[in-house]
Structure 1
């Protein structure tokens, strides 16, 4: 496993993760039925990772050789989804940043499964104040599968898509 840690300005309450050659409009991805509720917008080769603060946030990206073992108790919010990375050049940027300043991670081209997990939600006092929230993305090579809400930070909101 390789882990990358980035401070990203989550402008518009999101961090964008995409294949560098993707031409998807990530703003339009937030129109899905569960996007805002589940804190994720999913395209074919682009993700919008929702955050609870419109500020600099810590994003840890874990590139795994296979599905990671984890305890659901470690996180407040967990989503499983898929992304296709045709070039293998993963770009990570804030909601208003341009691709030219994106952080980059090289992975083999192909289909990936991912786990988007959020912890430290209880430390957030307001959307602009410093907090200990951490946004984690685990990716590993795998076939595409249905998006699943595993755990919602508001426990009463669990539903399957």
Structure 2
């Protein structure tokens, strides 16, 4: 590993996924208020990321061999670390009900994913435009509890 990948992802229904290519679930169930505030939902073999726009958003995926340095609280508006099991060794990045955007071979095992979000306060009034951007960092690590490094204030309801 040790590579940076860039994407423009259509975040239909305010979501996209990192998951195991062979074990992702068909239904992630009801989203809790806590998961929505965290902008991340975790289930077996899947991390669902909830960006702040229902549009195409820029995403960086950083594949690392070891844990990154602590996140910079000035650079990022929102930062969460979660665990992801990838028993098949096939990491997929995918939009909501779409074909995979990317399939990446990794060593089978347990990983941590750091979800960093910035520019969350740059959205236009209608929520369609903004300078929000997202960085996902993945590294091998044992399963561990969710860590919220920095929590962004909740956004207004746009439904």
- The equivalent residue for 1:46 is 46
- The equivalent residue for 2:113 is 114
In the alignment, structure 2 segments of 5+ residues that lack a partner are: 155-159
- The equivalent residue for 1:158 is none
Once the two structures are TM-superposed, the CA of residue 80 in structure 1 deviates from its matched residue by 0.9
Count matched residues: 151
Aligned pairs (5 A) from 1:50-65: 50-65=50-65
The structure carrying a bigger helix percent of its residues is 1
Task: Determine the C-alpha separation between the residues in 2 that align with 1:63 and 1:26.
Answer: 27
Output the TM-score relative to the length of structure 1: 0.86
Once the two structures are TM-superposed, the CA of residue 95 in structure 1 deviates from its matched residue by 1.4
Aligned pairs (5 A) from 1:49-128: 49-69=49-69, 70-98=71-99, 101-125=100-124, 126-128=126-128
Q: Which runs of 4+ in 1 moved over 6 A?
A: none
1:26/1:47 contact within 8 Å kept = no
Output the TM-score relative to the length of structure 2: 0.88
Once the two structures are TM-superposed, the CA of residue 102 in structure 1 deviates from its matched residue by 2.9
Measured on the aligned residues, the alpha-carbon RMSD in Å equals 1.6
